[in-house]
Chain A
Amino acid sequence: MQPSLKGRREGSPWVGLWAVFFKEMADHLSSTRMRILEVLILFSAVGAVYAGAQTLRQTVSEDPFLLLRVFTAAQDPLPSFVAFLSFFLPLAAIALGFDAINGEYNRNTLSRVLAQPIYRDALLWGKFLAGLATLALILLALFLLVVGLSLIFLGVPPDGEEVGRALLFLLATLAYAGVWLGIALVCSVLFRSAATSALAAIAVWLFFALFWGIIAQLLAQAMAPYDPFDPESELRQAEALLAFSRVSPNTLYAEAIQALLNPGVRSLGPVLISQLQGALLGSPLPLGQSLLLAWPQLTGLIALTLLLFALAYVLFQRREVRA
């Protein structure tokens, strides 16, 4: 061995990545979980279009963003399409990822697979990318169903900007799903039992979906108490609340799609009257500006996904092969 190579490991960490990727992808697509998800997809698409169409038929005013309304319109008792997605996707991501690594342990296949000429990197990356690709496939199917059905029901073709916004919305949704896939992956490395791992991942999801809002409020009140004689303290509290609630990926996702799907949104935080001087209220922002608005949230979601994957990676590299 050359001295310059000493201390470095040989070869590429990507060897075998595609073999793992395609095997995992095939596993996902042929699994019973996928059948269940497919049924959910169909129901949700039909529900979303129905709700959207009902709402839109009742509005008479002119709306240049008809397709985006289909995504966001809710019709009692049906939730809007995006509300449904932010609820359904974490579960789908957890379902695809919760037994990624501990499943290999439990089937006694890990040592056999790692005895092949590949690095652990390839196994983890392959599993993560396969999960992400499956989620992308689900999302794309859902998206095309909704767009196609709304074309039939509404008869109005979307224009270029609408399609652009819808595709960015798709990207944000994939990043959001990636965060939950990352959480599921970390759980699958941490917990040896698949059931524990699934429960832990769902507990994290419940925590952010139900409790984090309350906790963020309490924290904001404690950190920036409201003083009735100081009007600025109210603003400080609102900003603190926003900062805390943005720890949750759910908030980040909700804000990102709010900016992307609703061209009228100009700010995701509190706005002062002075800042609105000269603004034409209700006039839509161009796509570039909306993207700029959602940029921190988008990068935040992607960064969170990478961070979680890195955590799973470090944990997995340190794990002993033997149980």
Chain B
Amino acid sequence: MVIETQGLTKRYGKVVAVEGLNLAVEAGEVYGLLGPNGSGKTTTILMLLGLTEPTAGTVRVLGFDPVREPLSLKKQVGYLPDSVGFYGEMTAWENLAYIARLNGLPKAEAEVRMRQVLERMGLAEVADRPVGAFSRGMRQRLGLAEVLLKEPKVVILDEPTLGLDPEAAQEFLGMIRGLKAEGITVLLSSHLLHQVQAICDRVGLFHRGKLVLEGRVEELAQRVLGGAYRIRVGASPLEGLSERLGALPGVARVQLEGTELRLEATQDVRPQVARAVLEAGASLNSLVLEQPSLDEVYARYFQEVRHAA
């Protein structure tokens, strides 16, 4: 276990930010802490780094206790905060040099590493420009460059794609995927579930300071959505089709969505659906198997929680 927490709790006065969190992240994993704003993701991250003290519970990151052994821990753990800021009047190079000195890197080695990470993040050409003029995307990449500067074993990213345009976000997610390829363990938080679901091995969904769901994206979909297979059927005319399709074995439910039908099934029933549509005398326009999205898992889960309450 690279990151392990037990009964981790943080209270600010009467407000509970994180409650009874048991988290276990294995080496080389990309783990996503997901949930809406204010659900306790950033507080959890700060506790993992020893930047805020837990009210109760234990944390171990790489075997270190963040409260008592923060220096050894922070030498090997890189952190990119959600609204990353730099000294605007200093250049990218100077900003990195400061961080290198804080990490106690020898000057010669620091320069080699700085050149490498700037190159890797595509910032080599702007290294001598003041960071004040950098765009949000460039700052984010400079932040990742700084994280890589200490050659970390674990990287913790807080809302890495927040405020990036879709293209920059995809590019940045690609860079995170590159970290996994190097064997770096990545913990990232986000409220943009659909953006990160592609790169996370496992995710944990937060709600009001509690980890309510955890697992691989497909598992969660299976568990929460009932049928893990969702099929969109475009056919005309639609009359009478939903009853027919609902009667097919393995289909959990059928919903009308605009001019399409949406099926939830426990298995891939596309051949049966196609046959049923044609047998009903309708023409089949489209038949698509949807990937389950975390947004839906999340929405459905809380729908059920509210219904249960």
Tell which of B49, B72, B78 touches A10, judged by Cβ atoms closer than 8 Å.
Answer: B72
B146 touches A112 (CB 8 A): yes
Complex CA–CA separation, A117 to B98 (angstroms): 13
B74→A111 contact, CB < 8 A: no
Name the residue of chain A whose CB is nearest to the CB of B49. A115
A290 CB to nearest chain B CB (Å): 44
B88–A113 contact, CB under 8 A?
Answer: no
With known contacts A15-B71, A107-B85, A113–B102 Cβ distance under 8 A: yes
Encode contact with A along B46-65: 1 for CB under 8 Å, 0 otherwise: 10010110000000000001
Q: Which of A6, A19, A20, A109 contacts B86 (CB 8 A)?
A: A109
- Give per-residue flags for B265-306: 1 if the beta carbon is below 8 A from chain A beta carbons, else 0: 000000000000000000000000000000000000000000
Q: Are B103 and A114 interface neighbours, CB within 8 A?
A: no
Give the most central of A23, A27, A112: most B CB within 10 Å: A112
Interface positions of B from 72 to 114, Cβ below 8 Å from A: 72-75, 77-79, 81, 83-88, 98-99, 101-104
Query: 0/1 per residue, A107-129, Cβ < 8 Å to B?
Result: 11101111111110000000000
A230 on interface, CB distance cutoff 8 Å: no
Q: Given the interface contacts A16-B104, A322-B42, does A111 sit within 8 Å of B81 by beta carbon?
A: yes
- Chain A residue numbers with a CB within 8 Å of B67 are 9
Q: Are B86 and A107 in contact (CB under 8 A)?
A: yes
Among A10, A22, A27, contact of B70 (Cβ-Cβ < 8 Å) = A10
Report yes or no: A115 in contact with B81, Cβ–Cβ below 8 A.
Answer: yes
Distance in Å: Cβ of A21 to nearest Cβ of chain B: 10
With contact pairs A10-B71, A11-B71 given, residues A116 and B51 touching in the complex (Cβ less than 8 Å) = no
Interface residues on B, range: 35 or more
Neighbouring A residues of B84 by C-beta, 8 Å: 108, 112
**Beta-carbon contact of A117 and B103 below 8 Å:** yes
Which residues of A come within 8 Å of B, CB atoms?
A: 1, 6-11, 15-16, 19-20, 22-23, 27, 107-109, 111-119, 320-322
Within the assembled complex, what's the spacing in Å between the Cα atoms of A156 and B75?
A: 59
Nearest CB in chain B: distance from A111 CB, A:
4
Knowing A16-B102, A320-B52 touch, does A112 contact B81 (C-beta < 8 A)?
A: yes
B146 contact set on A, CB distance < 8 A: 112
Q: CB distance B102 to A8 under 8 Å?
A: no
Q: Which of B71, B83, B98, B101 has the most CB of A within 10 A?
A: B71
Taking a contact as CB atoms under 8 Å apart, the answer to whether A20 and B102 are in contact is yes
Distance between B131 CB and nearest chain A CB, rounded to angstroms = 10
Report Cα–Cα, A111/B52, bound state, in Å. 11
Residue of B nearest to A5 (CB): B68
- Mind listing 14 A-B residue pairs with CB under 8 Å? A16-B102, A20-B102, A107-B88, A108-B85, A111-B46, A111-B51, A112-B84, A115-B49, A115-B81, A117-B71, A117-B73, A118-B102, A320-B52, A322-B43
> From residue A100, how far is it (CB to closest CB) to chain B in Å?
13
In the assembled complex, how far is the CB of residue A292 from the closest CB belonging to chain B, in whole angstroms? 44
Q: List chain A residues, Cβ under 8 A from B87.
A: 27, 107, 109
Q: Does B32 contact A (CB under 8 A)?
A: no
